[in-house]
Amino acid sequence: MTTITTTYPIPDIEAPLPMVAERRAWGFWATLGWFGAAVASHFAVVILFGLGFMIWWLVNRGNLDVGTVPPTLEYIIIVLSMLAPALLLTLAARRAGPSAQGYLGLTMPAKRHILIGVGLTAAYWCMGAVFFHLFPAFDQTPELIREYRSLIGNPSALTMYWVTMVVSAPVLEEIIFRGFLMRGWSETRLGAVGAIVLSSLLFAAIHQQYTLLNIGFVLLLGLLLGVMRWRSGSTALTIMLHAAWNFTSVTWFALQA
């Protein structure tokens, strides 16, 4: 299997993602199967912690009238429920080749790709801000600001919120979607474009906390990150861009809270 160059732009739109020679990828169904197992591990963690909280409540309160999960614990569960599938898919990536790091594209991108990615992501963020300013009825920002405001005065919950949004979500989601799924599907009949579109659809589908229009914006963000993953050959780049997007958004929430 030959090595594909990572120069920008890549003329062949169906060229597979950059990879190291002699490294194979999981096929379409195997990749989808691993993803299904990863989703199962996510729900297993949520159920496990949910049952644990119910048992703790019963032991300490003596009744089954379970109250609200403390926000700090809620964000810890969110982090761990994302960590489980990311670790499982990292193991699958390791089984597919000599290096999970290489399979998942966890390599430093070229400087020009960083500049291009930052510019495109900033432009898209500003476009979204202008759209919701013009059409405030579709804007979910007030809800997100209220969530942030509710955490003020709870340092541990606020810290876990920042960790979840700015560190855990970008790293773990990018490993799953732009790392594992795109890597496996790009070498099937889907090609690079099909892998970008399908992985972005799944990426958008997990953000069920948003309205349909906002999920559409998440889909477009996924497509942008997918293109940058394909052109640069680096999931590390999409982690940076995803983290920058979330950091900017959370900072905006904090300023409005």
What would the pLDDT profile of 191-219 be if each residue is shown by its tens digit? 999 999 999 999 999 998 899 999 999 99
Mean pLDDT for 102-128 is 95
What pLDDT does residue 6 have?
Answer: 37
Residue 3 in domain: no
pLDDT number for residue 70? 84
Average pLDDT over residues 233-256: 96
The packing angle between helices 111-134 and 212-232, to 10°, is 170
What's the CA gap between 219 and 115, in Å, rounded?
A: 22
Q: Does residue 14 lie within any of the structural domains?
A: no
Quick check: is 113 in a domain?
yes
8 A C-beta contact, residue 8 and residue 112: yes
Q: 21 in a domain, yes or no?
A: no
Q: Confidence class of residue 8 from pLDDT cuts 50, 70 and 90? A: very low
Q: What is the pLDDT of residue 4?
A: 36
Inter-axis angle of helices 155-162 and 71-96, nearest 10: 30
Residue of 178, 167, 184, 228 whose CA lies nearest to 203: 178
Domain assignment present for 17: no
pLDDT of residue 13: 43
pLDDT above 90: residue 225 = yes
15 within domain boundaries: no
- Whether 18 is covered by a domain: the verdict is no
In a domain, 54, yes or no: yes
What is d(CA 242, CA 4) in angstroms, rounded to the nearest whole number? Answer: 25
- Specify the pLDDT at position 64: 58
Q: Map residue 179 onto helix, strand or coil.
A: helix
The C-alpha angle 183, 184, 188, rounded to 5 degrees, equals 115
Instruction: Report pLDDT for 54.
Output: 82
**What is the model's pTM?**
0.87
The band of 24, judged by pLDDT with boundaries at 50, 70 and 90, is confident
Beta strands in the chain (DSSP E): none
Give percent above pLDDT 70 in the chain.
Answer: 88
pLDDT in tens, 44-73: 999 998 888 888 777 777 665 656 778 898
Q: What's phi and psi for 40, nearest 5 deg?
A: -60, -40
CA distance 120 to 224: 8
How many structural domains are present in the chain? 1
CA–CA separation, 108 vs 99, rounded Å?
15
Could you list the residue range(s) of the whole structural domain that residue 108 is in?
28-256
| Cα dihedral across residues 145, 82, 20, 12: positive or negative | negative
